[in-house]
Amino acid sequence: MISEDTVVQYERDGAVCVRGLFSQAWLELLAAGLERNLAEPGPHAKTYTEAGRPGFFFGDYCNWQRIPEYRQFAFASPAADLAAAVMRSTKVNFFHEHVLVKEPRTEDRTPWHHDQPYWVVDGNQVCSIWLPLDPVPQDVCVEFIKGSHRWGKWFTPKRFADHDDHPSREGETIPDIDGNRHEYDMLRWALEPGDCIVFHALTVHGAPGNSSATNRRRAIATRWTGDDARFTRREGFMSPPFEEVTLPPGEAMDSPTFPVVRS
């Protein structure tokens, strides 16, 4: 599926672009699911664009059990095999999906953050596959700080709406990255439909708005865990909260909420 060089790049940089892995049929399936999701938002849906501002920034997650297109993608597409390859894992659990839509002329930025402090999982084998459904010019793409997953840092989760820290007893405030961009080695790519970005759960990333007057930026990030992943509960804010999960902290993720899809 992917070369050893690609896996090594993921391990070294914390993010890697994989070209042309997903067929048009998979993209059309996800697009149908996403439109269903927009028409019928789930309980975690958020609109981050304030009333009166241009564009529309929408997010939602954990809808795969009610949206069949998401479920089919998680269990049958090449995504789980890709996650297994980059994580060098013999087992892959589907963690959840996260829909992120920025319509034309959306000015809202996605704040700099890394994902794992939000999540109910510990371990090194935790990754995301960010799959756009539209062409993404480089200046609209998510940006990743090369090697930041190896900083040994734990940053407090950020609120997407106002970019303030969530209440938490864990971690430190993320530094002012936009004010000191010259200090960081940034990764971002121009993407065509079928391309994706795989990144580690501790890789620091953020995203600009969508300045296009006509083009949407629809993306679905699927989240995956591997052999060493263990369920946890954190002090303070968690997203998704997974309040229904009864796994004891320290247990493997295997459960109906986090099904094993490759073994």
Q: What is the pLDDT of residues 125-156, one digit of tens each?
A: 999 999 999 999 999 999 999 999 999 999 99
* Cβ partners under 8 Å of residue 1, min gap 6: 21, 78, 81, 82, 85
Domain 4-237+248-255 carries which CATH code? 2.60.120.620
Strands 15-18 and 110-113: unpaired
Hey, is 7 helix, strand or coil? Answer: helix
As beta bridge partners, residue 113 has: 205
* Cβ partners under 8 Å of residue 84, min gap 6: 90, 91, 92, 226, 262
Q: What is the residue-wise DSSP string for 47-89?
A: E-SPTTSSS-EEEEE--TTT-HHHHHHHHHSTHHHHHHHHHT-
Report the pLDDT value the prediction gives residue 50, as an integer from 0 to 100. Answer: 94
Burial class (CB in 10 A: 0-12, 13-18, 19+), 250: exposed
Q: For residue 64, name the pLDDT band (cuts at 50, 70, 90).
A: very high
Cβ atoms within 10 Å, residue 15: 27
Q: Where are the domains of the chain?
A: 4-237+248-255
Least confident of 146-150, 170-174, 203-207: 170-174
**Tokens representing residue 21 in the block:** 């892995």
The pTM assigned to this predicted structure is 0.97
Per the prediction, the chain carries an average pLDDT of 97
Is-contact 254 190, C-beta < 8 A?
Answer: no
pLDDT at 29 over 90: yes
Report the pLDDT value the prediction gives residue 85, as an integer from 0 to 100. Answer: 98
Strands 205-207 and 143-145: antiparallel
